[in-house]
């Protein structure tokens, strides 16, 4: 009897191993076969100097003081007009609000739906106290060691100037697009986009414009970041997470520290926050994460390929590993971040009020309402009052991978970065493109910049820089995208 059971078990295991092996090696690649883009016909050192010059304008946006750096934005606008004369002679330029820019490159065929490229002019400030950690002056526009250095090189003047360079070159070559192309350049992306990108989207909607697709900044060409993948991975964002901050407050009787109660305001709030942090919202390899890993799996090697090609069996194990890294965990679920705690102002006084703020980045499929319900349940204290931040936003709609926009971007990425594996992804941060679901069902997020693990901290951080060679690839990407998408008639 035991021999028969053992034999049956061996047969089951052997069959399972065979199924896993066949499923792993028969899973086909999803990469589009294209010829690499031709060499870029541009004076790249001169292009690098133009971007470096743009970095010198301190176009730092402010939520509280919208006009604070107005003169810097004016200088940037004048600089763009000077450096890209063909763009400004050919495209219609409109200033929306204070300093947001909308350029229109009229197409030859009004029956073809228009498209839009997005970038933003504004930047985040240098974190106080970190100035001396920079290798160069962050606003000096320094070119050194093969890099363009400074705040905005990656986020997001690199994209903005690459688009301008691409179009300047196309115009110079005699290219005329069939479809109308819009350039959307907000001035307050870093503080909401409510003064720039949103009014532009509303303006286009009021004019009856419906965009075929939109491309904004977003995910990168990651090199050596994903374990098991020897080639760089170029991820095209299909959506971005929602944003929800909740302010918590708890009121108790204040008192003298010599006679503390069993449960103080600080103690109760701390215990509630600990409970919340220990109960993350449910997640999993589904939705966009499932699409991403399904696309990357055939390109991986070794155990990683086996695991990702057989998630029907290995899903729980893979998820447990992904949850250990903050970056990969963010792709699987709505994340919970405790960001502010305030209570007390004197060491011998029991405060009567404790306050906190919790920030959630909402996975598509969850909502602000479902997050608030989870928050209240996890806190486990009905005495804590919960108030929503008025600037909260739902997750963006998920754009398709079988539409014209994704296919065009995917093809152009493969042409400009022939060594990269292209896959869909999820943007975990917020961009101006979230406002453009008003005028398009296909909104994508991709920045044609290469990044290793150590480079990710340069975004909003110290020593932001862009390799000149990579800047050339970015310009080439935008030229290929426009040339292939908006072929002249």
Tens-digit pLDDT profile for residues 192-206: 899 999 999 999 999
More confident residue, 67 or 208: 208
Q: How confident is the model at residue 8 (pLDDT cuts 50, 70, 90)?
A: low
Give the chain's count of helices (H) and strands (E). 14, 17
User: pLDDT at position 447, please?
Assistant: 98
Cα-Cα-Cα-Cα torsion 369, 372, 374, 375, nearest 10 degrees, comes to 170
| Set 122, 188, 190, 366: catalytic member | 122
pLDDT of residue 295 exceeding 90, the answer is yes
> Which bin fits 39, alpha (ψ -120 to 50), beta or left (φ > 0)?
beta
Mean pLDDT of the chain, nearest integer: 93
User: pLDDT at position 13, please?
Assistant: 64
pLDDT of residue 20 exceeding 60, the answer is no
- Range with the poorest average pLDDT among 3-17, 276-290, 366-380: 3-17
User: pLDDT at position 18, please?
Assistant: 59
- Residue 299 annotated in active site: no
Question: Cα 229 to the chain's mean position, in Å?
Answer: 21
pLDDT of residue 6 exceeding 70, the answer is no
Alpha helix positions (H), 140-286:
157-172, 197-206, 265-277
Range 252-279 average pLDDT: 96
Q: If you search the block for the tokens 């486990």, which residue do you land on? A: 380
Q: For CA atoms 283, 413, 110, 402, give the dihedral sign.
A: negative
CB 443 within 8 A of CB 210: no
Q: Which two structure tokens, joined as six digits, stand for 391? A: 């600037």
pLDDT of residue 247 exceeding 70, the answer is yes
User: pLDDT at position 389, please?
Assistant: 92
Q: How confident is the model at residue 41 (pLDDT cuts 50, 70, 90)?
A: confident
Q: Return the exposure string of 358-367: e unless at least 16 CB atoms fall within 10 Å of the residue's CB, then b.
A: bbbbbbbebe
Q: How confident is the model at residue 40 (pLDDT cuts 50, 70, 90)?
A: confident
pLDDT tens digits for range 97-154: 999 999 999 999 999 999 999 999 999 999 999 999 999 999 999 999 999 999 999 9
- C-alpha pair distances (Å), 169 with each of 148, 172, 317: 21, 5, 50
- C-alpha pair distances (Å), 312 with each of 23, 117, 317, 320: 11, 38, 11, 15
pLDDT tens digits for range 410-463: 999 999 999 999 999 999 999 999 999 999 999 999 999 999 999 999 999 999
Q: Which residues contact 481 (CB under 8 A, 6 or more apart)?
A: 215, 408, 409, 412
What percent of the chain clears pLDDT 70, i.e. is strictly above it?
94
User: pLDDT at position 226, please?
Assistant: 85
**What whole-number distance in Å separates Cα of residue 185 and Cα of residue 162?**
13
| Set 155, 165, 188, 189: catalytic member | 189
User: pLDDT at position 285, please?
Assistant: 94
- Residue 277 annotated in active site: no
pLDDT of residue 489 exceeding 70, the answer is no
pLDDT of residue 17 exceeding 80, the answer is no
What percent of the chain clears pLDDT 90, i.e. is strictly above it?
84
- Range with the poorest average pLDDT among 17-21, 47-51, 343-347, 408-412: 17-21
CB 342 within 8 A of CB 355: yes
pTM of the complete model = 0.92
**What whole-number distance in Å separates Cα of residue 410 and Cα of residue 234?**
9
Residues in the chain: 489
- Range with the poorest average pLDDT among 16-25, 292-301, 313-322, 378-387: 16-25
pLDDT tens digits for range 179-196: 999 999 999 999 989 999
Range 259-287 average pLDDT: 96
**What whole-number distance in Å separates Cα of residue 136 and Cα of residue 123?**
17
């Amino acid at each position: 009897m035991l021999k028969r059971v053992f034999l049956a078990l061996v047969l089951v295991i052997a069959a399972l191993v065979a199924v896993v092996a066949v499923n792993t090696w028969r899973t086909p690649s999803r990469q589009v076969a294209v010829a690499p883009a031709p060499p870029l016909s541009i004076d790249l050192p001169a292009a690098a100097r133009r971007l470096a010059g743009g970095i010198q304008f301190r176009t730092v946006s402010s939520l509280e003081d919208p006009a604070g750096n107005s003169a810097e934005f004016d200088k940037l606008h004048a600089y763009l007009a000077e450096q890209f004369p063909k763009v400004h002679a050919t495209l219609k330029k409109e200033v929306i609000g204070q300093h947001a820019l909308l350029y229109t490159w009229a197409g030859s065929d009004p029956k073809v739906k228009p498209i839009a490229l997005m970038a933003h002019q504004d930047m985040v400030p240098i974190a106080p106290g970190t100035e001396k950690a920079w290798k160069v002056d962050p606003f000096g526009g320094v070119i050194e060691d093969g890099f363009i250095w400074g705040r905005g090189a990656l986020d997001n003047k690199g994209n903005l100037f690459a688009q301008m360079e691409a179009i300047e070159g196309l115009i110079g070559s005699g290219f005329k697009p069939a479809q109308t192309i819009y350039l959307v350049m907000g001035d307050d992306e870093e503080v909401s986009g409510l003064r720039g990108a949103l009014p532009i989207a509303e303006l286009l909607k009021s004019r009856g414009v419906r965009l075929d697709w939109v491309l904004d900044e977003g995910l990168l060409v990651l090199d050596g970041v994903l374990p098991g993948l020897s080639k760089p991975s170029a991820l095209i964002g299909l959506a971005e997470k929602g944003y929800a901050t909740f302010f918590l407050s708890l009121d108790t009787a204040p008192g003298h520290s010599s006679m503390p109660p069993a449960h103080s305001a600080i103690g109760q709030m701390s215990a509630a926050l600990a409970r919340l942090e220990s109960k993350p919202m449910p997640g999993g390899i589904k939705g966009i994460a499932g699409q991403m890993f399904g696309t990357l799996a055939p390109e991986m090697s070794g155990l990683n390929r086996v695991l990702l090609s057989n998630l029907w069996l290995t899903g729980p194990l893979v998820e447990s590993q992904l949850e250990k890294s903050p970056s990969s965990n963010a792709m699987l679920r709505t994340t919970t971040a405790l960001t502010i705690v305030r209570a007390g102002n004197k060491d011998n006084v029991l405060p009567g009020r404790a306050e906190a703020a919790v920030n959630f980045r909402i996975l598509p499929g969850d909502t602000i309402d479902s997050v608030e319900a989870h928050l209240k349940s996890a806190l486990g204290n009905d005495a804590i009052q919960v108030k929503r931040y008025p600037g909260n936003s739902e997750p963006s709609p998920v754009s398709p991978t079988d539409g014209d926009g994704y296919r065009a971007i995917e093809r152009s990425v493969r042409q400009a970065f022939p060594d990269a594996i292209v896959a869909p992804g999820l943007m975990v941060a917020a961009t101006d493109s979230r406002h453009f679901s008003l005028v398009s069902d296909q909104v994508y997020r991709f920045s044609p910049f290469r990044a290793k693990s150590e480079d990710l901290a340069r975004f909003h951080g110290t020593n932001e820089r862009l390799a000149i060679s990579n800047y050339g690839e970015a310009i080439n990407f935008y030229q290929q995208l426009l040339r292939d998408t908006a072929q002249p008639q």
